Structure 1
């Protein structure tokens, strides 16, 4: 529970926010009655227009004055909620997708202003009572101080306060706040029971560490909270990003009959989902800063259990032996099937064998085009010749088709020689089993990383993928796949025996320095 001082500060922040709302929503007093009627008709049917007109304090950048319009997934979600009065849905959207803003504020107010009554009692559920009250404060601010909304749909606020966790509007629409686990039993206003319940970001890292707590809270959502509806009638919505597979959101999404909307910051085609808000360069900068695992968790709804196969404790950085001491050097290339930057990572990993030691020496691990990776391979070959070392270049035989080899030939024609690439013709078993089996080399201490590459972004990106690798993962596994290919070939005549690994953890960042 918030202290008196914390509550006082929260009230002061809310009052400043209310001033912002009021100032940003000034009404054009010169408009005609016909213009007003036409606008009301339009905003009731056009969610994007509704958001743009009534909420400039959310959508307009105060520094640039530029408005950020709704993303297609916002509009699709709003239309889904409007269309289905009885809806059980999870909106599993990435960080920064404005899920709370739309599902907690904009969409309920859009429902409220429809010609046919769509909203009677709304319940907003947060991580705690204080959190829920704070979320409720935002919608009260709009109903009490948004001049445009009031001008078009009449005076709204009647009595009550978000500080107490409830308020009512003049037309008898009630709004309540509840914290997770707090009893929702008996919630009603006059003859109406809740018909719009939104559960906002219920999960956190601490909760997800306890399966027992997650189970109890899931049961509370399905039983006490869902039971607050009138016999299941109404809109029952959960919003959040998937931070753990052991989470209330994950359990909720798995319930039969629940509509699931999943939005990742990169869509399935490699485009930014909310292109009006972020450029691809900005998203890539976020990914570089956060690292592979954190980015997958926060922005791709793909929580990865660090250490499922490889452990952080198995990663050994050491001073590389002299190049002439390596018995064999292999660069294994995994170009991925598509040339576009938008798809899988391209991986090329240089490994060396010295006695029983396996050395990870250089890496290319990027979301890049095939020509970019090809140029890197040619540069490596020329560096190796200047250094006086021999590297064998391998690529999976399935990839050695005309389309991909054409990129190598094009670069070769420019340099007046062709890169000597060999095909890996092994009959490969399941990818997970192959990579899992190779983890034994890390566990037994055979694998070393060249410490001169400790800050190399490609090396670190590959290491991130290795430590994140697990069965059924939806993230990228191109780097560990290339590692397995190189190690398998290096060990063809090695005495390192097979070994059954135990299981268990992973790092990130980009440039080429031999």
Structure 2
């Protein structure tokens, strides 16, 4: 084995190899006929193939999206011969390991002959590729079934060729693959892994240069007339980065977050709700959104600062408004990528006094419907009998069936068990585009410190999330669920104060009822 460079040597690859050997025992009493039959069965069922040869990486039950992704990649490559896919999977979802098993399956079964592994730097690419090399020279099950793969003289770190004639080569961004081949084979398998970096994404010129290199130097390294497979791996760390551009051109793009749209772990066998919450509780909301939810957020230019201060006692208010958003519709989200959206739900409790609006508390997060209902009742517990409380819930035309069929029964059931059913008024008012509403109604209030966040709730993680969503809000933000609820509350307060000021009667259009004569 050639000497690894200093960076790769920081990881003890020999211990890693030994752990692979121990995790891949073989049956030495198996007959040649049984062995041949077993191998044929495994190759015909790629998922079984991976579970057998890579026992070390299948200690947790494979989630459905792993199985579907591998079947899609392998199936489309077999069928179409040329396939280009992007996997925007969150941190902790084993995108690199899953890809390694897919590509080694294709290499060992003779379907790929020359694999390029590309990352932001050569050292990073080499470290990724060394994991493949360790499997090939230390996995006893692979060696038992496919023969010894280490080829003396062609087994250097970062560029090696197996005895079966499959070449693996690491490349860093900007390094030219021009003229590279494996005998008569040009690159036919290309993996991009962590190609974007945070620093580079802050410089549009750097992204342009890297993308230009990919399009001209890498894509044209394949033989246009022969089969080839291109796979990008990486979560979305900036609105404009190479993995985002790749997704816009891919045959298939898949976005998988750490939690699904109902706020549940997409891989509970490995990542429990408790361990996800613990890590998210140690980092900023912005960092969590980027690494776990494919939602890169940057400090916005509209809401530049949050005013924290004392809120007047609730008993001094004429009334308070709790406005809830069940987030069951993406109709008016400014950048609609339905599968990439997070189901942010919540309730904001807002009051008004002396020409200022006050956010007393809130619940805003990716959450289940049950937690959403619990948050609505929390506002009632917070206010108690201090003042009149109006409860509104957004209920546009797309949300209405969900509200009546799902939420109302939940609201009723929770109230029956917890001190009485909450009186809720559905807000079916037709609204304009979300960002326009949030910016026009709230930006002046924030700019002149007329909207105050309750300083007594500053340690509340929900209030921190609300503040972060305001500070990062822009016309292209995917996630402004919190500001949207606040805008709904402020709008209802203005409506009620207007009626009170003019001394008139509030007129509400009654919906038609087909069951009434």
CA contact (8 A) 1:226 1:232 kept: no
Select which of 233, 237, 252 maps to 1:239.
233
Q: Judge conservation of contact 1:52–1:69 (CA < 8 Å) in 2.
A: no
227-236 or 409-418, larger mean C-alpha shift: 409-418
| Separation in 2, partners of 1:178, 1:162 | 16
Which residue in 2 is equivalent to 1:504?
none
Shift in alpha-carbon separation, 1:4–1:252, aligned structure 2, 3 A: closer
Q: Deviations over 1:143-199 (max 9, x none)?
A: 112111111011211134665531111222222111110111111122222111212
CA contact under 8 A between 1:159 and 1:167: conserved in structure 2? Answer: no
Q: Does 1:196 align with 2:185?
A: no
In structure 2, do the counterparts of structure 1 residues 326 and 167 end up closer, same or farther at CA, with 3 Å as the change threshold? same
Query: Could you say what secondary structure the match of 2:151 adopts?
Result: strand
**CA shift for structure 1 position 425:** 6.4
Q: Superposition RMSD on alpha carbons, in Å?
A: 3.2
Q: Following TM superposition, by how much is the alpha carbon of 1:258 offset from its aligned partner in structure 2, in angstroms?
A: 3.6
* Alignment correspondent of 1:73: 68
CA gap of 1:42–1:270, structure 2 versus 1, over 3 A, is farther
Alignment of 1:368-383 (within 5 A): 368=367, 373-374=372-373, 377-378=376-377, 380-381=379-380
Aligned match of 2:323? 332
Alignment of 1:356 onto 2:355: yes
In the alignment, the residues of structure 1 paired with residue 98 and residue 153 of structure 2 have an alpha-carbon distance, to the nearest angstrom, of: 23
Q: Secondary structure at the match of 2:187?
A: coil
Q: Aligned partners of 2:369, 2:8: CA distance in 1, in Å?
A: 58
Which structure 2 segments of 5+ residues have no match? 330-340, 499-517
TM-score by length of 1: 0.82
Matched, 1:112 2:110: no
Query: Compared with structure 1, are the counterparts of its residues 16 and 201 closer, same or farther at alpha carbon in structure 2 (3 Å cutoff)?
Result: same
Residues 139 and 440 of structure 1: CA distance in aligned 2, closer, same or farther (over 3 Å): same
- Report the TM-score when normalising by structure 2: 0.81
Which residue matches 2:308? 317
1:485 has 2:488 as partner: yes
Alpha carbons of 1:441 and 1:163: their partners in 2 closer, same or farther (altered >3 Å)? farther
- In structure 1, stretches of 5+ residues that fail to align are 61-65, 495-514
- SS at structure 2 position matched to 1:434: helix
Distance change (3 Å), C-alpha of 1:275 and 1:397? closer
- Whether contact under 8 Å (2:309, 2:455) holds in the other structure is yes
Match of 1:21 in 2: 20
Contact 1:395–1:422, Cα closer than 8 Å, also in 2: yes
Q: Structure 1 residues 357, 111: closer, same or farther in 2, change over 3 A? A: same
**Cα gap change, 1:139 to 1:449, in 2 (>3 Å):** same
Equivalent residue for 1:47?
Answer: 46
Q: Give yes or no for contact 1:93–1:262 (8 Å, CA) kept in 2.
A: yes
**In structure 2, do the counterparts of structure 1 residues 78 and 324 end up closer, same or farther at CA, with 3 Å as the change threshold?**
same
For 1:146, the equivalent position in structure 2 comes to 139
State the aligned residue count.
Answer: 475
Match of 1:99 in 2: 95
- Give distance in 1, aligned partners of 2:22 and 2:493: 69
SS of the equivalent of 2:432 reads coil
Q: Structure 1 residues 67, 250: CA separation in 2 closer, same or farther (over 3 Å shift)?
A: closer
Q: Secondary structure at the match of 1:198?
A: strand
